[in-house]
Amino acid sequence: MSLTLNEKFRDYIANAGGVTPDQLADCSYYTIQELNNTFRDPNLEKNLINVFHINIRSLNANHNKLLELMITLNYSFDVIVLTEIWNFNLSIYNNLLPGYNFIYEAPVGTNIGGVGIFIHNSFNFVKVDLKLESNIIDNTVESLFLEVYNQRFHCCVGGIYRHPNHNISKFTMSLEACIQSQKFPRNMDCILLGDFNLNLLNCLTHNDTSNFLDMINTYDFIPLTTLPTRLTETSATLIDHIYYRSSYKSRCNLSDNCLTEILTVDITDHLANFLCLQPVKKIEKSSERPSTRIFSRQNKDRFEEELLHLDWNSAVYSKNEIDTAYSNFVALILKAYDNSFPLTKISRKRCKDKKWITPGLIKSSDVKCRLYKKNG
């Protein structure tokens, strides 16, 4: 069976990242109702951060639709990134969403484009003095980088809007230069998201797209949105991206720790996408030694003796109900088994053995060591 374009894309980024496709975060389409049902899970309250993105195609024109959407959702996103905010009356929207601060980077030389970020009051933030080079011919882009933090989590969020039909190679170089900059935050989780106007599903047939993905992967950023985000009657393109790079200390399995989905809303011709980042699941190491049963010759003899002296007549044969007789039969066998092969804690020495180290392997290893010593 041939793979779909989306499956091929997932295989591509999995191979580039040195992981299997099932280790990547799942990505699917959510309705508002499905999202609300998911957010009823109390465990989501424990997320490290929840980040939302949508191409708003003029905040001035669509601010009421954005406000209606956020009121309809049962959950408050910590960071809301808007692309294509346009340069009309931006300053009046500082109080559009109660409980949020609004920071934006307006387009220069045009009214079209721009990036805005709403940050919930539960997070502090610092604007990073950093932006993609945008005064290059054929590479118009707006970007805004913030360090956001609270007592539980500290990360960098970068919102990016790349104007369409411009040079992809120049954009790739400008983003790489930004990541390489001394001002780019280090030693913390980093999330890049926005409207890149770059269809990632073309990565197998378009060199500039594959080169962009190879560059972003070089710096350990993993694409999380893997389905089309802009749907028309004639096309389905993945141009709204979310990239995540985990810091070394909190590196995690994306399939376990990232909820990343696409929200089917009709504010503009772009769907929204979001990321809910969960804490790394810690595996508790037990210091308790496991127990085992010892099947020695002596214990086997004891088991046979126990079976010979069981009272089968009163417990089994005299019962009229077959279920009762069978239950009694099993109970007698289990009691004899437990008495003859009691659970015993494994010795500290054997506790260090790997599960695949069998008694036969241990014996062979001893023989090998003796022969080595003799021949040495």
CATH code (residue 108): 3.60.10.10
In 3D space, the residue among 254, 249, 230 whose CA is nearest the CA of residue 240 turns out to be 230
Is the pLDDT at 3 greater than 80, yes or no? no
192: domain range? 5-277
Together in a domain, 315 and 345: yes
- Residue labelled with tokens 């710096």: 219
Q: Is 282 inside any structural domain?
A: no
CA distances from 356 to 57, 321, 345, 346, 353 (A): 59, 45, 19, 16, 8
How many separate domains does the chain show? 2
Q: Give residue 197's region: left, alpha or beta (phi > 0; psi -120 to 50).
A: left
Together in a domain, 119 and 223: yes
Model confidence at 158, pLDDT cuts 50, 70, 90, reads very high
Q: Which amino acid is at 348?
A: R
Together in a domain, 260 and 318: no
Which stretch of DSSP H or E encloses residue 124?
A: strand 124-127
Together in a domain, 319 and 221: no
Around 181, how many Cα atoms within 13 Å sit in the side-chain half-sphere?
17
Looking at residue 45, what DSSP letter applies? G
Q: Is 295 inside any structural domain?
A: yes
Together in a domain, 259 and 299: no
Q: Is 188 inside any structural domain?
A: yes
Looking at residue 313, what DSSP letter applies? I
How high is the pLDDT of residue 1?
Answer: 43
Residues 263 and 265: their CA atoms lie apart, in Å, by: 6
The winner for highest mean pLDDT among 210-214, 302-306, 307-311 is 210-214
- 51-87 residue pLDDT tens: 999 999 999 999 999 999 999 998 889 999 999 999 9
Together in a domain, 190 and 215: yes
Q: Is 284 inside any structural domain?
A: no
Is the pLDDT at 265 greater than 60, yes or no? yes
Is the pLDDT at 284 greater than 60, yes or no? no
Domain end point (choices 277, 305, 332): 277
Q: Is 365 inside any structural domain?
A: yes
Residues 71 and 261: their CA atoms lie apart, in Å, by: 19
Mean pLDDT of the chain: 87
Q: Is 285 inside any structural domain?
A: no
Mean pLDDT, rounded, for 125-141: 91
Together in a domain, 298 and 249: no
How high is the pLDDT of residue 340?
Answer: 87
- 200-223 residue pLDDT tens: 999 999 999 999 999 999 999 999
Together in a domain, 250 and 129: yes
Together in a domain, 236 and 367: no
Q: Is 61 inside any structural domain?
A: yes
Together in a domain, 187 and 93: yes
Provide the CA 163 distance to its chain's centre, in angstroms: 28
Q: Is 179 inside any structural domain?
A: yes
Q: What is the pTM (predicted TM-score) of this model?
A: 0.75
- 239-263 residue pLDDT tens: 999 999 998 554 555 667 888 999 9
Together in a domain, 168 and 238: yes
Together in a domain, 357 and 260: no
